[in-house]
Amino acid sequence: MRVAAIDCGTNSVRLLIADVDGDGLTDVERRMEIVRLGEGVDRTGRIAPEALARTVNALHGYRRLIAKHTLDEEMPVRMVATSATRDAANRDVFTSAVRTILGVEPEVISGAEEANLSFLGATRRLPGGLATPYLVVDIGGGSTEFIVGSADGTGVAGAISVDIGCVRLTERHLRAAGDPPAPEAVRAVIDDIEAALDRVEAAVPVRTARSLIGLAGSVTTVAGIALDLPAYDSERIHHSRIPAERVHEVSARLLAMTHDERAAIPVMHPGRVDVIGAGALILDRIVRRYGFPEVVASEHDILDGIAYRLYRP
């Protein structure tokens, strides 16, 4: 069964077209565009016209790809929208544009549903030898999801979404804090992260987890830097195991660099240059707080979960 899954987050909009069966999925197309839909939403509570225009442009390209790869008369398409859209008072403008372009109703999903889809996508094909339960952490632009559970998404013990993300924390504390940011601004980010982790620990049994699985661009970028890759290589990053000390080193290094120095890192996507410091710091504080010896970076996430659910609701 060929399906199309679209995830529209705070920083990026992504497309997965895949052939799915009982054994898993095979990628046909996997694309990402940094559109920063959530630009300014934390401050204004509204999606900016420029951010909407960037997202609409990306969706027109995705519509053409879906048409190109449709085998039968119709391919099942599901689009979900997450933190920025949940927070925006004018989300109807966005959902109306999506209906016009794609012909489907975008689902503005809850943080809990986002967490469960991320867990399903991340754990379906994990390598052997990882101790369970897993803590799956999906660090997004506006929010971060924490899910504790066992293999194959069959035993979720707890999940929560909290409003810390690389875009939100950058806009709140780092954007006007110097280049590189001043120590007091970094401390403010840490304080926000730790307050969110207090809420996570009160709601989810995170300390029962034995393996940490990290999802999304902040994690995979940190992994690529830790591996000293000459260019972004998803095959080498996927399921790489990054020791805690390397996470700490990379996070500290990114926060001490200027914008231009971060932009020169070979694995760095241009759309992540300004927000990677906050994203890396979220990962760093999670590793420190819960004492994980390593993080397993995964390229499979909510997109894969959406695709699996289209095949088997």
Q: Is the pLDDT of residue 313 over 90?
A: no
pLDDT tens per residue, range 30-89: 999 999 888 888 889 898 999 999 999 999 999 999 999 988 777 899 999 876 787 788
The predicted model scores a pTM of 0.88
Q: How far is CA 198 from CA 91, 100, 175, 202, in A?
A: 30, 42, 25, 6
Mean pLDDT of 86-95: 86
Which residue(s) pair with 79 in the sheet?
A: 6
CB atoms within 10 A of CB 34: 18
User: Cα 225 to chain center, whole Å?
Assistant: 17
- Tell me which fold the domain 2-109 belongs to: Nucleotidyltransferase; domain 5 (3.30.420)
Structure confidence at residue 152 (pLDDT): 53
Q: What is the DSSP letter of 172?
A: I
The secondary structure element, H or E, covering residue 250 is: helix 244-255
Q: Do domains 2-109 and 126-298 have the same CATH topology?
A: yes
Query: CATH says 126-298 is which class?
Result: alpha beta
User: Cα 113 to chain center, whole Å?
Assistant: 14
Structure confidence at residue 164 (pLDDT): 94
pLDDT confidence band for 185 (50 / 70 / 90): very high
Q: What is the mean pLDDT of the chain?
A: 91
Q: Write down the domain spans for the chain.
A: 2-109, 126-298
pLDDT confidence band for 259 (50 / 70 / 90): very high
